[in-house]
Amino acid sequence: MKFRNSNFFHILLFSFCLLISCPSHGQAQVKKVLTEADYGKFGTLLIKQFSSDGKWVSYEMQYENKVDTLFLQHVPSKQATLIPRGKDSAFGGMSFFAWRVGSNLLIKNLKDGSIETLEGVKRYEFTRDGKHLLVLQPNGNLLIKDLRVKKEERISDVSNYVTNAKTDGVLFTKEYQGKCLLGYFSFKKNETLPLLEEVTPISRMVWQKDGESVGFMVGNALRFLDLKSRKLYSLPMEIKKKPLKIADGALYPIVLSDDGEKVFFSVVFEKPKVTDDKREQVEVWNGTDVCLFPVRQVLEKISIPLLAVWLPKK
């Protein structure tokens, strides 16, 4: 085969050489050999939170060796602070940022950059408006810090607490001289009000939306307290002579309606204990069964929780 045009031949030859050389050159640039030491450098990036004004963001790099790194970044300037082993972080409005390192809590003022450290912290949270910080210590002390005026209140022997959506106060339980006390601390009045005294532990406290009533458990019984009238309501735990038990666990919460007239919860009818019959049984398997024979055997021994509603005032 002869090429009559020499220029065409040169162009064709050049193009052929270019096609051969470019892929090999590109592969030499991007190829990287990974070693076993590189595997530990891979992590998962998680965006944690934004401050209420959107000027600050926190994110975290999580690694398999659990030596994670927390980052706090100022969005406008893109300046980031690296916090090794930082965990459980939260923003307090637009002015404060807190995180835990081990059992210590560090609180950073985003305005002036100062950092306060509290040792021995079991649990903490900012109120929704970012004006107060609540810290529960292992020794039972509940610290209520007013971040605006740098004042601090301390309640001893606290076992649990819960704030309401209005962020005007906190409900808490404390154990004192063999009794369990239910109390309320008002942020506005800066005072503690005793509400109830029981010999049985108080648990599962929940607020009504406007903070006008609360629901809680006293032992295995459900209670409803109207904070305005201070009237206490108790749920009878027997309906149609069938013993009821209120289901426990995160899947079955107690919920108060927004108007404070209804209490929603889950119940189970307590079944008598079934002893295992080790004798030979005839297993009947039917193709139209909703549950197979082994599943039916399990369901006979357990009770499936049912949703219930209680109208305390009626």
Give the angle subtended at the CA of 287 by the CAs of 286 and 292, to the nearest 5°. 65
Q: Is the dihedral of CA 10, 11, 14, 20 positive or negative?
A: negative
Q: Which range has the worst mean pLDDT, 24-33, 136-145, 195-204, 231-240? A: 24-33
191-142-180 Cα angle (round to 5): 80
Distance of CA 205 to the CA centre of its chain: 16
State the Cα–Cα distance between residues 64 and 306, nearest whole angstrom. Answer: 41
- Residue 309 in this model has a pLDDT that exceeds 60: yes
Whether 236 has a pLDDT exceeding 80, the answer reads no
- 11 band by pLDDT with thresholds 50, 70 and 90: very low
Evaluate if residue 30 carries a pLDDT over 90: no
**What is the amino acid identity at position 156?**
S
Residue that is written with structure tokens 């609540």 in the block: 134
Q: What is the pLDDT of residue 12?
A: 43
**Close Cβ partners of 253 (under 8 Å, ≥ 6 residues apart):** 206, 265
CA distance 31 to 179: 70
**Average pLDDT estimate for 247-259:** 92
Better-predicted residue by pLDDT, 220 or 155: 155
Residue 108, pLDDT > 50, answer: yes
CB 91 within 8 A of CB 128: no
* The predicted structure's pLDDT at residue 13: 44
Strand order in the sheet with 213-218: 202-207, 213-218, 221-226, 231-234
* pLDDT at residue 8 in the model: 45
Are 92 and 33 in contact, with CB atoms under 8 Å apart? no
